[in-house]
Amino acid sequence: MSVSKKESSKHVIRIKCQDEIGLIHKISNVLYLNKLNIIRNGEYVDNESNQFFLRSEVEGTLEELVVISNLEKILPPGALIDLKPIQKKKIVILGTKEAHCLGDMLIKHQFNNLNAKIQAVICNHQTLGNLVEKFEIPFHCISASGLERTEHEQKILDLLDTLDFDYIVLAKYMRILTPLFVEKYPNQIINIHHSFLPAFIGANPYKQAFERGVKIIGATAHFVTNDLDEGPIINQDVIRVDHNYSWRAMARAGRDVERTVLAQALEMVFKDRVMVNKNKTIIF
């Protein structure tokens, strides 16, 4: 681990610890003594669990290990401290056949609006290969055909092991990940679910929504945990539908919502604005 002397730059500091009086005072004191300017600050206390959460964007010349060490000294035992420079994330995208979320990310990627570098796209079908390759991103088709679930997943895990990434984005990846997979990447897998969770968990939510006769449909971006569609919600949005919508029309209209909900969630995650608090998120 290197202790590098950095140029003045922007960092994000995120702290989670037991709440106690004077935390902001003590933390801001550390930042002050390290000559760091606070650009943007967010705090939250979960009164139920008595946990304190803080996110600070700071600017200045900073030695990461020194600051972390200073913070450790003044924070309660067990405090989690995350300090990193503000920079682009690296991601791997998993998909199946639908192009709308993936396509949006590829376009933003090309025009430098994604705030992330796409390292690879992995799909269980060939459908999207031609699209991905247009953008000169490595495309890997790992078919699940004829394979046990764990065999198929192992192939993906083996491939992931060769890649360097911060997050895995499930851009309408239509297979359920096993606990083994999910536990390997805690709070690193982001999924877009095509319903307003917790309504319509599971398969074909638009058909479920149609059958129920709802007047609004939605989409939910969340971190993946081992409870199906129950992970911490990052972002949600909805649109109105009426009795003239077949479930296919709902699915078509829903795609625009899915794409935007995922795009906004990724924007927040990639800027380190999201902290996980048990099965919920705090968005600073």
91, 56 contact by CB (below 8 A):
no
Q: Name every residue whose Cβ is closer than 8 Å to that of residue 187 and which is 6 or more positions away in sequence.
A: 223, 232, 276
Residue in this structure with the two tokens 């992330």, named with its chain if needed: 116
- Mapped onto helix, strand or coil, the DSSP state of residue 148 is coil
Phi first, then psi: give them for residue 73, nearest 5 degrees: -65, -35
Of 5 and 111, which CB lies nearer to a second copy in the complex structure? 111
How far is the CA of 263 from the CAs of 23, 115, 250, 255, in angstroms?
Answer: 34, 11, 20, 12
- Is there a catalytic annotation at residue 158? no
**Pairwise CA distance, residues 9 & 23, whole Å:** 25
Write out the residues near a second copy by the rule CB under 8 A. 21-22, 24-25, 28-29, 31-32, 35, 37-41, 43-45, 47, 99-100, 103-104, 107-108, 110-111, 113, 131, 134-135, 196-200, 212-216, 218, 232-238, 240, 242-244, 246, 252-253, 255-257, 259-260, 263-264, 277, 279-283
Task: For the CB of residue 239, give the shortest distance to a second copy in the complex, in Å.
Answer: 9
Task: For the CB of residue 151, give the shortest distance to a second copy in the complex, in Å.
Answer: 30
Handedness of CA 54, 60, 63, 66 (dihedral sign): negative
Of 168 and 263, which CB lies nearer to a second copy in the complex structure? 263
Which of the residues 19, 104, 164, 229 is marked catalytic?
229
Of 4 and 47, which CB lies nearer to a second copy in the complex structure? 47
**Pairwise CA distance, residues 202 & 280, whole Å:** 20
Q: How big is the chain, counted in residues? A: 284
Task: For the CB of residue 62, give the shortest distance to a second copy in the complex, in Å.
Answer: 14
Of 167 and 247, which CB lies nearer to a second copy in the complex structure? 247
Task: For the CB of residue 263, give the shortest distance to a second copy in the complex, in Å.
Answer: 6
Q: Please give the positions annotated as active site.
A: 229
